[in-house]
C-alpha cells in the first residue's frame, strides 16, 4: 500500500477520534479490518494514530510558534499534528517523505491547504532546535515532557506527589496484550504449547497463574485460540477487582456495570461455572458483547439484564451475596489504551453524582453480611476515595474491609485504608479497588 494512503487512513482515524469524539481503540479496530492492509502497514497506522494522540499537547505547544491554532482549519491542524509527530518522534521515514505525503492529504481539503502544510512543516524543520524549554515553569515542563494538559498534571501532582513522574511516564507507554486463559476449555500448559507452535512470544504474569502477557503486534480476535474461547483479553488490574470480591460457588453475584463482561466471565471461569451471576449494562449493544463472550467461552452461569444502575431495580432488593460495582469514570488509569482521554472535557460533578447513585443502589441489592467491590479505572481520588467516604458517612450499616493481595509492585495502600490504588506501572492499568461489607443483623 502506498505510504500516503497509510497516512490517510491514520488521518481519517484521527478525524473520527478528535473531531467526532470517537474512541481510538474502536475506531482503529474498524478501520484496520481491511484484509488488504498488511500487518506492517497496520502497525504504522496504529503508531501514527496513537502517537499523535499521545503527544498532541506537546505538538500543539510547538505549533503555536508557527501558526494560530484556533484559526487553523481543524482537519489541516490534524495533518500538521500527525506530521510533526512523525518528524519529532519517529525516525523510520525521511523528513521529505513525511512532508510530501502530508501535503498530498492536505490538497484534498482545498487548493490552499497543501501549500500551507508544506510551508509550516519546512519552517519547523529549519527552526526545530529553537524551542526554549527553559521558559517554562516546573508544571509546564512536565506538561511538555510527557504531553498532558496542565489541569491533568496539576491533579496528579496534588494527589500523588512523589509518584507524579512515574504515573505520567507510565501512562504514555505502549501496553502489551494480557490474555486470561479459560480453564473451562483448556489447561494452561496446553494453551502455552499452542502459542509456542504459532511462534508467539509471551511472559508469565507475576500476579495470576492463568494469565500471560504476549509480545508483538497482532489481532488476537482473529486467532483460533480466541475464536475457540481458550483465552480472553483482560488486564490484570481488572482481574484483581474480581478476585478481591472473593466469591464462592453457589452464591448470587451481581455485576452492576458489567459490559463487556470481563470480570463476570473471570468469576464464572474461576468458580467452574458453578455460580449465578447477573450481569447488567444500560446499553443493549453492550449486553450483546457480554452474551457473545459467554457463548464463545462456554459459560452458562451468567444471565444478562439491560439496567440503568442509577435507577432502583425492585426485583434486586436484598438479593445478592456479593456485588461488583465498576463505575463509569474519567478513565485516567487507561490512558495507555485511550490517549484521547487526556483532552476530553469531563463534568466531574455530574460524573461523581452518577457514581454515588450507582453505589447507593448497589447497597440496596446486597444481603446482610454481603460485600461490595467498588472499582474504577481512574486515578482521580475525587471519584474513588471521596465517593467511598461519602457513602460510609451516609450508610452506617456498612464498613470498610481490609484488602489483602500480597506484595505487588506499585500498588498503593491508601494511608487511611480506603481501598487500594494500582498505579499504571509496567503493563498494569491504573485502577482503584475498595471492599465494603454490610453488617449482619
Q: Per-residue pLDDT averaged across 67-79, rounded?
A: 96
- 337-347: pLDDT as tens digits: 999 999 999 99
Q: Is 143 a catalytic residue?
A: no
* Euclidean distance between the first and the last CA atom of the chain, given in angstroms as a whole number: 68
Assigned C-alpha cell, 310: 442509577
pLDDT at 14: 97
Under DSSP, the state recorded for 377 is S
257, 329, 377, 434: which one is catalytic?
377
Exposure string over 68-96, b if 16+ CB within 10 A, otherwise e: eeeebeebbbbbbbbbbbbbeeeeeeeee
Three-state secondary-structure class, residue 384: coil
- 231-279: pLDDT as tens digits: 999 999 999 999 999 999 999 999 999 999 999 999 999 999 999 999 9
- Max CA-CA distance within the chain? 76
- 42-56: pLDDT as tens digits: 889 999 999 999 999
User: For residue 337, how many other CB atoms are within 10 A of its CB?
Assistant: 17
**Taking Cα atoms as reference points, which of 385, 383, 386, 391 lies closest to residue 359?**
391
Q: What is the pTM of this model?
A: 0.93
Are 11 and 105 contacting, i.e. CB atoms less than 8 angstroms apart? yes
pLDDT at 222: 85
Q: Per-residue pLDDT averaged across 392-413, rounded?
A: 87
Strand partners for 375: 326, 433
Q: What is the overall mean pLDDT for the chain? A: 93
**Taking Cα atoms as reference points, which of 313, 255, 258, 331 lies closest to residue 288?**
258
Cis previous bond, 339, omega within 30: no
pLDDT at 416: 64
Q: Grid coordinates 466469591 are at which residue?
A: 247
Higher pLDDT, 184 or 34: 184
Q: Rounded to whole angstroms, what are the CA distances from 154 to 142, 198, 380?
A: 10, 46, 12
Distance CA(156)–CA(144), nearest Å, equals: 15
Strand partners for 252: 276
Amino acid at each position: 500500500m502506498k505510504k500516503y494512503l497509510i497516512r490517510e487512513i491514520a488521518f481519517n482515524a484521527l478525524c473520527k477520534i478528535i473531531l467526532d469524539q470517537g474512541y481510538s481503540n474502536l475506531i482503529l479496530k474498524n478501520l484496520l479490518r481491511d484484509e488488504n492492509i498488511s500487518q506492517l502497514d497496520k502497525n504504522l497506522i496504529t503508531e501514527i494514530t496513537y502517537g499523535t494522540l499521545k503527544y498532541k499537547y506537546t505538538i500543539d505547544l510547538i505549533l503555536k510558534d508557527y501558526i494560530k491554532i484556533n484559526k487553523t482549519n481543524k482537519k489541516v491542524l490534524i495533518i500538521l499534528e500527525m506530521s510533526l509527530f512523525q518528524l519529532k518522534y519517529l525516525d523510520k521515514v525521511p523528513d521529505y517523505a513525511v512532508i510530501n505525503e502530508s501535503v498530498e492529504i492536505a490538497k484534498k481539503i482545498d487548493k490552499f491547504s497543501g501549500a500551507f502544510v508544506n510551508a509550516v512543516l519546512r519552517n519547523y524543520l529549519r527552526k526545530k532546535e529553537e524551542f526554549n524549554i527553559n521558559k517554562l515553569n516546573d508544571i509546564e515542563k512536565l506538561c511538555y515532557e510527557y504531553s498532558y494538559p496542565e489541569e491533568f498534571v496539576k491533579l496528579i501532582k496534588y494527589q500523588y506527589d512523589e509518584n507524579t513522574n512515574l504515573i505520567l511516564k507510565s501512562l504514555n507507554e505502549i501496553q502489551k496484550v494480557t490474555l486470561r486463559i479459560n480453564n473451562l476449555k483448556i489447561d494452561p500448559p496446553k494453551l502455552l504449547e499452542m502459542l509456542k507452535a504459532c511462534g508467539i512470544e509471551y511472559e508469565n504474569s507475576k500476579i495470576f497463574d492463568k494469565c500471560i502477557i504476549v509480545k508483538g503486534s497482532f489481532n488476537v480476535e482473529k486467532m483460533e485460540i480466541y475464536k475457540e474461547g481458550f483465552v480472553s483479553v483482560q488486564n490484570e488490574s481488572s482481574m484483581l477487582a474480581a478476585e478481591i470480591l472473593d466469591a464462592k460457588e453457589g452464591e448470587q453475584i451481581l455485576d452492576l456495570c458489567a459490559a463487556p463482561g470481563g470480570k463476570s466471565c473471570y468469576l464464572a471461569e474461576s468458580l467452574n461455572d458453578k455460580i449465578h451471576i447477573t450481569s447488567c449494562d444500560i446499553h443493549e449493544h453492550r449486553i450483546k458483547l457480554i452474551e457473545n463472550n459467554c457463548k464463545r467461552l462456554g459459560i452458562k452461569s451468567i444471565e444478562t439484564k439491560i439496567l440503568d444502575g442509577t435507577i432502583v431495580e425492585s426485583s434486586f432488593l436484598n438479593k445478592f451475596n456479593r456485588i461488583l460495582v465498576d463505575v463509569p469514570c474519567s478513565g485516567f488509569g487507561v490512558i495507555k489504551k485511550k490517549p484521547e482521554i487526556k483532552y476530553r472535557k469531563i463534568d466531574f460533578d455530574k460524573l461523581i453524582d452518577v457514581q454515588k447513585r450507582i453505589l447507593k443502589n448497589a447497597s440496596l441489592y446486597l444481603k446482610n453480611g454481603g460485600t461490595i467491590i467498588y472499582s474504577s479505572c481512574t486515578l482521580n481520588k475525587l471519584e474513588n476515595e471521596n465517593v467511598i467516604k461519602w457513602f460510609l458517612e451516609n450508610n452506617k450499616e456498612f464498613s470498610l474491609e481490609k484488602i489483602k493481595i500480597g506484595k505487588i509492585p506499585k500498588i498503593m495502600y491508601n494511608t487511611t485504608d480506603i481501598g487500594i490504588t494500582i498505579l499504571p506501572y509496567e503493563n498494569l492499568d491504573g485502577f482503584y479497588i475498595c471492599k465494603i461489607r454490610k453488617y449482619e443483623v
